[in-house]
Amino acid sequence: MAVSDAGSTAAPAESPTAGEPVQDAAARRHALRVLALSSLGAFVVFLDTTIVNVAFETISRSFHDTAGHLAWVLNAYSLVFAAVLIPAGRLADRYGRKRVFLTGITGFAVTSALCGLAPNAGTLIAGRALQAVFAALVTPTSLALILPEFPAARRAVAIGTWGSMGAAAAALGPTLGALLTQYASWRWIFLVNLPICALIAVFGLRLLREARDPHARGLPDPLGVLLVAAMPAALSLGIIEGPNWGWTDPRVIGAFVLAALLLPVFVLRNRSTAQPVMDFALFHVRQFRLVNAATLVFAAAFYGMLLSNIIFLQTVWHYSVLRAALATAPTPLVVTAIAGSASRLSHTYGARRVLTLGAVFWTAGLALDATAVGATPHWSTHWLPAALLTGLGIGLTLPVQSGAAVQTLPPGRFALGSAINASLRQLGAVLGISLFVAVLGTPTAATAVDSFHRVWWLFAALGLTAGAVLWTPSRRRDASDAGATGHEPAYGTRDGATNHQA
């Protein structure tokens, strides 16, 4: 089935095999330390996808710049992150996962310092793009370093823990960013990365083991990498600037046309080059395909919501940066509290059921925002219930998507599959932020609440769509159900398997 609905969600490779050695106590301790260190690396790079949100208004005032222009402070990071994630996995396979991971952490620290010291918006946007290059080196390698440390039977739990850290980082970003902005400066939302990265690098040199893929040859097609970034960049440009330039402006129409034309060019290039950026064979696995589609859609809603809520509290309710962060804190607290349990629920009841439940909670929370929250602040009676529902939706979705996306792939494809999933999540972030800027427009004090209501209804619909995608009917009628039989789809066959639904 598309996303397993019963019993275990682990792939066949996750089951113990006969004669598999049992880890001794020292090996287990080492594996847990590698898991903690690598997950911390994922945490710090995913933190920077959202930590800037709460400082958005402060940065705008600091540089006397427009929201449309400064949206690229967020989008530049997500676009480059998405484009480099997949080739980064290939680099790690060829040159060594430990080496690439530590290079990424070191470069991330240096470019974080560049962002923190940026004298103007242009330098900050460029610094964010460079920061994303090194962040992309960290993400797939952090997972690839974890997997060999765990026996097959425990690998799914390790993946879930790693995914939970990324989800918690994305949710906690605005709160941490607000504390730093309020009590120090918005520049510290970047400079705080330096001591964390230094800690990871010092312990990583001693703890991590080098590993390579002896069969890795060549580097990904550079033109393909550029196309991965260019397509969403053109789309984002059209969406962001449409309200300002006019939807019939030749520049806006040209951006949309360019995005549409680049998609088939990317597909043709990917199929013809010797070293394609994206392995389309992975999308023959039905669960991988559907979960990644849901990831793209939900990420648009999630990242757009994070930015919209912070800006609403600061501009409509006139909360300070710190008060806005504290007002949104219940959501990341719920996410952090249930992220681990969500992975276990997915393992027990099936990822599709858990993700659908997450979509329902998410939609209920955003719908409550859109119907109950108004111009007059009523935090405890109006905002808080919606925030708790939204937190449940996020906590049941983001960490489960990370694990479900790769669970039906063989272990050798986990890193690449994870990179594709993370890449689509970042592309969703670009889309969500762009939609927020476009739908909100430039409202007046009298129209601001209605504008935010439209934004929240849009993100509620996207979240519900992400859950519905997982129930897309199979293109093949299969004799048995993968989840019910306890078997998972075979990798590499179209739609997963021939004898049971993928």
Please report whether residue 112 resides in a domain: yes
Residue 22: per-residue pLDDT: 53
Residues 211 and 303 in one domain: yes
Instruction: Look at residue 496 and give its three-state secondary structure.
Output: strand
Residue 487: per-residue pLDDT: 36
DSSP for 389-447?
Answer: HHHHHHHTTHHHHHHHHHTTS-GGGHHHHHHHHHHHHHHHHHHHHHHHHHHH-S--TTT
Highest mean pLDDT among 175-179, 255-259, 270-274: 255-259
Residues 282 and 272 in one domain: no
Helices 121-146 and 56-63, packing angle to 10 deg: 150
pLDDT band at 492, cuts 50/70/90?
very low
Mean pLDDT of 236-244: 78
Mean pLDDT of 287-313: 93
- Give dist(CA 213, CA 415) in Å, integer: 12
- Give dist(CA 280, CA 51) in Å, integer: 33
Q: Which residues pair with 496 in a beta bridge?
A: 493
Please report whether residue 1 resides in a domain: no
The whole-chain average pLDDT of the chain stands at 82
**Residue 168 structure tokens:** 């918690």
Task: With CA atoms as reference, report the closest residue to 108 among 194, 210, 204, 199.
Answer: 194
Tens digits of per-residue pLDDT, 349-363?
889 999 999 999 999
* pTM for this model (two decimals): 0.77
**Do the beta carbons of residue 389 and residue 367 sit within 8 Å?**
no
Residues 152 and 240 in one domain: no
As a whole-number percent, the residues of the chain with pLDDT over 70 amount to 86
**Do the beta carbons of residue 418 and residue 143 sit within 8 Å?**
yes
Residues 204 and 342 in one domain: yes
Q: Give the count of beta carbons closer than 10 Å to the beta carbon of residue 68.
A: 16
Please report whether residue 40 resides in a domain: yes
Residues 387 and 474 in one domain: yes
Residues 270 and 317 in one domain: no
**Residue 409 structure tokens:** 């792939």
Half-sphere exposure of 353 (CA within 13 A, CB side): 15
Residue type, 38: S
Please report whether residue 6 resides in a domain: no
- Give dist(CA 134, CA 156) in Å, integer: 26
Number of residues in the chain: 502
Residues 151 and 246 in one domain: no
Tens digits of per-residue pLDDT, 454-484?
999 999 999 999 999 999 887 664 333 333 2
pLDDT band at 415, cuts 50/70/90?
low
The yes-or-no verdict on residue 87 having pLDDT over 90 is: no
Those residues with Cβ within 8 angstroms of residue 404's Cβ, 6 or more apart along the chain or in another chain:
3, 9, 287, 291, 346, 351, 355
Residue 232 CB burial class (10 angstroms; 0-12, 13-18, ≥19): buried
Q: Give the angle subtended at the CA of 368 by the CAs of 363 and 370, to the nearest 5°.
A: 95
**Do the beta carbons of residue 179 and residue 325 sit within 8 Å?**
yes
Residues 27 and 102 in one domain: yes
Residues 159 and 232 in one domain: no
The yes-or-no verdict on residue 493 having pLDDT over 70 is: no
- Give dist(CA 330, CA 456) in Å, integer: 18
Highest mean pLDDT among 168-177, 274-283, 366-375: 366-375
**Residue 294 structure tokens:** 């849901």
Those residues with Cβ within 8 angstroms of residue 501's Cβ, 6 or more apart along the chain or in another chain:
1, 2, 286, 474, 476, 478, 480, 481, 482, 489
Rg of the chain over all Cα atoms, to the nearest angstrom? 22
Tens digits of per-residue pLDDT, 29-84?
999 999 999 999 989 988 887 788 777 778 888 887 666 666 778 778 888 887 88
Residues 135 and 40 in one domain: yes
The yes-or-no verdict on residue 490 having pLDDT over 80 is: no
Q: Which residues pair with 480 in a beta bridge?
A: 500
Instruction: Look at residue 155 and give its three-state secondary structure.
Output: helix
- Give dist(CA 145, CA 37) in Å, integer: 10
The CA-to-CA distance between both ends of the chain, in Å, stands at 4
Please report whether residue 348 resides in a domain: yes
Mean pLDDT of 306-314: 90
**Residue 247 structure tokens:** 């939807």
Range of 297's domain?
Answer: 12-220+277-501
**Which has the higher per-residue pLDDT, 490 or 182?**
182
Mean pLDDT of 204-219: 79
Residues 267 and 334 in one domain: no
Domain count, the chain: 2
Instruction: Look at residue 501 and give its three-state secondary structure.
Output: strand
